[in-house]
Amino acid sequence: MFDVKKNGAIAKRAKAIFSAGGLDNAIEQGSIDASLEVTLSEALVLGLLKQGVRKYFAIFGHGSTDLGEVLRIYQENGVTQTFNCRNEVEMAHAATALRWQYGETSAVVTSIGPGALQALSGSLASASNGVGVYHIYGDETTWGEGYNMQQIPKRVQGAFGQITALMGQSYVLHTPNALREGLRRGSSCVYHPVKPGPFYFLLPLNTQPEIASINLKTLPSIPHLPSIASTDLALYAEAIEKISHAKRIAIKAGGGTRGFDTQVKALAEKIRAAVVLSPGSTGVLADNHPQNMHVGGSKGSISGNYAMENADLLISIGSRSVCQSDCSGIGYPNVEAVININGDLDDLLHYAGTTGLAGDIGVVISRLIDQLDRSNEPELMSSATWLEDCLTKKSEWIALKNDRCSSEPIMDVVWARQVLTQPCAISTVAKFAKSKGATKFFDAGDVQANGFQIVEDDSSGQTYTESGASYMGFAVSALLASAVADKPSYSIAFTGDGSFMMNPQVLIDGVEHGARGMIVLFDNRRMAAISGLQEAQYQAEFSTNDKVEVDYVKLASAVGGVNAIFGGYDVASLQSALVAAYDYDGLSFVHVPVYYGRDPLGGMGAYGSWNVGNWVKDVQTQYLNTKI
């Protein structure tokens, strides 16, 4: 039953924390006791406060009412903020974007059952991209009095905890006083210096209101860990030996190089290496830098794939060597040796014959450059003709890109009229974003693939393309992060019709929470990435489109507060729509019909291999003969 006294005590603590300017100050000033007897729900909120978690994305249910009551009181007293959402996948994406783009750690709260599984599915994006987020799910009671509604209907203990542990790390708060250990594990996961990820708290329905004895001083804060790296000079000497014998060096800059722009540039210039980007590392080396060969992989570029295919030394930095990024293991047919710079030991030794320089990327590169300066090796760089050859290929790629991105509208069968090509439309929006300093988010599918081939970033962080999981609906959901960030920036979500319909509820939540940003929907009335793959492999598409017409402008306009605009059929109309969308103080939506068909001007093309479909036999045969 409702306990006025208990709620009054919660409110008193919350007021003390707010008045002191934070939990640590309140403890230091003595306005809140360090040793407390509080409910597990409040103890968790206090523990997360010590780690800087003040924001919660939530869909409450019967499995989270007690936690919700604590969050209500703490929000009323100015300590935390809770943002109610309409889809668990959406809020998992929003929490991921909040940490990825703004560095703010938040928590996702769901009930038991379907909601938890939805959020777990969405957390694949944070797990794949190494982004730390807390997830808090309701769970079955610990008394075993019978099946709880929406639990996993199986006679095993802790089924939800087992499932979440497969995605990342999890902790079932079966006993309230175990919270301290759970928070320790959570902090080391969410704030891991090399490979952070999602951490899942499972809160049984009956333990949430139970009393936990806690000592706030012993609960973990955000860990501040030193940047560590290998000091084994023999390994650096081995790496330098490989560099000295190489004539055609390629650096593959993976997603882990984001934020290490200066170090990657310094190493590349010192050894005259061609730099090949991953979809998630655009901007690590400025687009117009002569050694930037652009994206390489199964959906790469002329220049990026040329560098991969002809290099004799691979320096892989911060890369997971994902199938599409290294052409399913056959992207480097002439590489004789590998140097891998990575903080994750499993990823470090992916290739055969690797010299592994483990540790923080920035520290390792700085030490490697220092050792290169001290080396007596006569030649420590690629041959001059290597970069000249790569630049020739880069010129070919730029010419092709300019041709595709400046194409006139093409007649489309479905639209029964001339419409913009997707490269032209994406390029137009990308250039507009750059002119405004807007951050770009790309959704999965054809929009994403063409997007990372087209964008011209000058530093990392200008584009976020969730290629780790390629989760449809991520980009539009990510706009919600700008509504809750302490210092929001204007963001534009590039999405296709398929991806948008995975999470259209962001229109409602974006307005509800005050997002200022833009959704641009490139509509080709199909899952074009898969249609194109089917046609490339089997010369026929199957079940990747429909005949249902959707008036997306009318759909978006049905949500009060959304500024929905038709983007038109030509560049001038699209540019005008972008200006009107950007000038709106709120959430804008721009609908752009785009071409799909076999005209090569309709896409940026593919330049590598992939171990899928009827390509499997050829790829795997080549894989068995690779040198690395």
Summarised one tens digit per residue, pLDDT across range 279-320 is 999 999 999 999 999 999 989 999 999 999 999 999 999 998
328 in a structural domain? yes
340 in a structural domain? yes
pLDDT-derived band of residue 5, with 50, 70 and 90 as boundaries? low
227 in a structural domain? no
> Dmax of the chain from CA atoms?
81
CA-to-CA dists, residue 390 to 254, 316, 397, angstroms: 19, 18, 10
**Do 442 and 383 reside in the same domain of the chain?**
no
pLDDT-derived band of residue 527, with 50, 70 and 90 as boundaries? confident
**Do 373 and 505 reside in the same domain of the chain?**
no
- Could you count the other beta carbons within 10 Å of the beta carbon of residue 535? 14
**Do 48 and 151 reside in the same domain of the chain?**
yes
403 in a structural domain? no
**Do 246 and 208 reside in the same domain of the chain?**
no
pLDDT-derived band of residue 377, with 50, 70 and 90 as boundaries? low
**Do 328 and 200 reside in the same domain of the chain?**
no
For the stretch 356-369, pLDDT in tens is 999 999 999 999 99
Q: What is the pLDDT of residue 605?
A: 87
Q: Is the pLDDT of residue 379 over 80?
A: no
Give the C-alpha separation, 276 to 299, whole Å.
Answer: 13
Query: 218, 242, 265: which is the final residue of a domain?
Result: 218
Q: How many domains does the chain have?
A: 3
3-state secondary structure 561-598: CEEEEECCCCHHHHHHHHHHHHHCCCEEEEEEEECCCC
Closest to 166 in 3D by CA, of 217, 100, 120, 130: 120
500 in a structural domain? yes
**Do 544 and 453 reside in the same domain of the chain?**
yes
Q: What is the pLDDT of residue 573?
A: 97
Q: What is the pLDDT of residue 3?
A: 66
Q: At what angle do helices 88-102 and 114-122 cross, to 10 degrees?
A: 30
Give the C-alpha separation, 91 to 85, whole Å.
Answer: 7
Mean local confidence (pLDDT), 217-227: 91
29 in a structural domain? no
Q: Which two tokens stand for residue 444?
A: 């999965």
CA dihedral sign of residues 268, 271, 276, 280:
negative
181 in a structural domain? yes
For the stretch 11-50, pLDDT in tens is 999 999 999 999 999 999 999 999 999 999 999 999 999 9
**Do 371 and 420 reside in the same domain of the chain?**
no
**Do 255 and 208 reside in the same domain of the chain?**
no
CATH number at residue 63: 3.40.50.970
User: Whole domain around residue 277: which residue ranges?
Assistant: 233-392
pLDDT-derived band of residue 608, with 50, 70 and 90 as boundaries? confident
Give the C-alpha separation, 608 to 330, whole Å.
Answer: 9
Give the C-alpha separation, 132 to 126, whole Å.
Answer: 7
State the DSSP code for 624.
Answer: H
Query: 359, 392, 425: which is the final residue of a domain?
Result: 392
The residues with which 497 forms a beta bridge, in sequence order, are none
**Do 517 and 569 reside in the same domain of the chain?**
yes
Sheet holding 517-523, edge to edge: 463-465, 439-442, 491-496, 517-523, 587-593, 562-566
pLDDT-derived band of residue 117, with 50, 70 and 90 as boundaries? very high
Q: Is the pLDDT of residue 390 over 60?
A: yes
Higher local confidence (pLDDT), 4 or 458: 458
Give the C-alpha separation, 515 to 588, whole Å.
Answer: 9
Q: Is the pLDDT of residue 1 over 80?
A: no
Which of 161-170, 435-444, 542-551 is the least confident region?
542-551
Average pLDDT of every residue of the chain:
93
The residues with which 253 forms a beta bridge, in sequence order, are 277, 317
pLDDT-derived band of residue 548, with 50, 70 and 90 as boundaries? confident
**Do 448 and 555 reside in the same domain of the chain?**
yes
CATH number at residue 274: 3.40.50.1220
**Do 444 and 309 reside in the same domain of the chain?**
no
Residue given tokens 């030394």 in the structure block: 313
**Do 433 and 546 reside in the same domain of the chain?**
yes
609 in a structural domain? no
